[in-house]
Amino acid sequence: MQSVGFIEPEGFKADNQDYRILIMKAAFLTGIRGMEIRDVPAPQIEAPNDVLVRIDAVGVCGSDVHYYTTGAIGRQKIVYPWTVGHECAGTVVEVGSGVSNLKTGQRVAIDPLKTCGTCDQCLAGREHTCRNQAFLACPGQLPGALAEYIVMPASCCLPVPDSMNDDEVTIVEPLSIGMYACGLAPENPPKRAAILGSGPIGLSVLLSLRAAGTEEIFVTDLLPERLEIAARMGADWTGCHPACDVVAEILDQTKLGVDCVFECAGQQETLDQCAGLLRPGGTILAIGIPQLDRVSFSPDIMRRNEIRLQNVRRQNGCVQAAIDLISSGQVNVMPMVTHHFDLDGSRDAFEMVADYRDGVVKAIINV
């Protein structure tokens, strides 16, 4: 399919400063497991601090697929048609009159969160729980990035060096979540940690822990191919659940239990494993998004061992740190990027990720 990025407005002249991108292609969710590429009006710069970004690549996130297969995450329900996508690499094509730190042609990583800067949460440095926030692709908030163009505030567009490829720029967002979660552990870094769920977020936690200096990292998953990638990315031990009793095997090696468990699967079964893996006084970091409206914990072991439960909401202030971690060569995110698609293949990408087909970990759509 041919792109219709540039359309000549009426009265267009070659030197006309008002030459604008009017129409673009975007991938819309149209129903449960329904997706269509449509031509729609391109977003325009409205505020002085806005930046128009051409999207180069979008990572398919578990949360996007959640919307694709169920139409909702918790109370966030999609009104169709709706665009998804929030892990993206782009290039600045136009800046608002008040933008001085970005120029056209600058490649950027996008922080998908737009905050108000004035509520109690923003003032307390908790921008990620801003009371007036708008997140890319969150129903009713900001349209998603699975489109040729988006408009974001300049503060959400972080320049990246040319040494980083589009895949690496796309992984900045999940890696920032991994780094943020590690920073929430009471011991920073924890000496011993377990990661339950070896998808892109679990692997991002793994890279972050490794870079921070955690001595021993245990990773579990249902899928052996994901564990192979975890082993390549620095896991000290991997275990396939339920083929082996991962709790017994990790305890057998650590004797006393781990300091932190990063729950990245969002399953009741993995949540049930957490407390048993921890030493008394250890911490569960709950990152996975459960499909269920309710999950449960056994008060017996949680109370007896005074287990701490720390929920993790996306990330806060870790995007630049993630860019630095990748661009400095301290971590290699590329083993988790398993598949590429073009915009027309978006539905195939979502189907593949939804069904965990072909060993997919991170699928990236090159827009």
If one asks whether residue 57 binds Zn ion (CB under 5 A), the answer comes out as no
CB of 166 to Zn ion, least distance (A): 16
CB of 225 to Zn ion, least distance (A): 21
Cβ proximity to Zn ion, 67 vs 149, nearer residue: 67
Cβ proximity to Zn ion, 16 vs 118, nearer residue: 118
Q: 71 — phi, psi (to 5°)?
A: 80, 5
Cβ proximity to Zn ion, 61 vs 307, nearer residue: 61
CB of 119 to Zn ion, least distance (A): 3
CB of 288 to Zn ion, least distance (A): 12
d(Cα 175, Cα 332) in Å, to the nearest integer? Answer: 11
Piece of the chain touching Zn ion by CB under 5 A; list 26-34, 129-137, 236-244, 284-292: 129-137
If one asks whether residue 61 binds Zn ion (CB under 5 A), the answer comes out as yes
Cβ proximity to Zn ion, 28 vs 135, nearer residue: 135
Q: What is the DSSP letter of 136?
A: B
Q: Identify the residue among 7, 37, 93, 119 touching Zn ion (CB under 5 A).
A: 119
Residues 78-117 that bind Zn ion (CB under 5 A): 115-116
Which alpha helices (DSSP H) does 132-185 contain, by range?
Answer: 166-184
Sketch the per residue contact string, 246 through 265, with Zn ion: x for CB under 5 A, - otherwise: --------------------
Dihedral (Cα; 324, 326, 330, 331), 10-degree rounding? 150
The first and second tokens of residue 274, run together, are 């957490």
Q: Which contiguous run of DSSP H or E holds residue 339?
A: strand 337-342
CB of 142 to Zn ion, least distance (A): 14
CB of 193 to Zn ion, least distance (A): 21
If one asks whether residue 130 binds Zn ion (CB under 5 A), the answer comes out as yes
Cβ proximity to Zn ion, 4 vs 116, nearer residue: 116
Cβ proximity to Zn ion, 133 vs 254, nearer residue: 133
CB of 124 to Zn ion, least distance (A): 10
CB of 168 to Zn ion, least distance (A): 15
d(Cα 130, Cα 176) in Å, to the nearest integer? Answer: 18
Q: 348 — phi, psi (to 5°)?
A: -60, -40
Cβ proximity to Zn ion, 42 vs 349, nearer residue: 349
Q: How far is CA 348 from CA 29, 38, 275, 344, 358, in A?
A: 13, 16, 38, 9, 12
Q: What is the DSSP letter of 147?
A: B
- Contacts by 236-243, CB closer than 8 A, 24 or more apart: 238/198, 241/269, 241/270, 241/273
Cβ proximity to Zn ion, 14 vs 124, nearer residue: 124
If one asks whether residue 322 binds Zn ion (CB under 5 A), the answer comes out as no
d(Cα 276, Cα 263) in Å, to the nearest integer? Answer: 13
Q: Identify the residue among 122, 169, 287, 331 touching Zn ion (CB under 5 A).
A: 122
If one asks whether residue 211 binds Zn ion (CB under 5 A), the answer comes out as no
CB of 284 to Zn ion, least distance (A): 21
Cβ proximity to Zn ion, 130 vs 147, nearer residue: 130
> What is the greatest pairwise CA distance in the chain?
76
Piece of the chain touching Zn ion by CB under 5 A; list 8-16, 60-68, 213-221, 249-257: 60-68
The first and second tokens of residue 57, run together, are 């690549």
Cβ proximity to Zn ion, 134 vs 295, nearer residue: 134
Count of all residues that appear for the chain in the document: 367
d(Cα 250, Cα 161) in Å, to the nearest integer? Answer: 40
d(Cα 288, Cα 204) in Å, to the nearest integer? Answer: 13
Burial of residue 247, with CB atoms counted within 10 A of its CB: 0-12 exposed, 13-18 middle, 19 or more buried? buried
d(Cα 102, Cα 92) in Å, to the nearest integer? Answer: 8
If one asks whether residue 289 binds Zn ion (CB under 5 A), the answer comes out as no
If one asks whether residue 309 binds Zn ion (CB under 5 A), the answer comes out as no
Q: Tell me the site size for Zn ion, rule CB under 5 A.
A: 6
Q: Which contiguous run of DSSP H or E holds residue 252?
A: helix 246-254
The contact set with Zn ion (CB under 5 A) reads 61, 115-116, 119, 122, 130
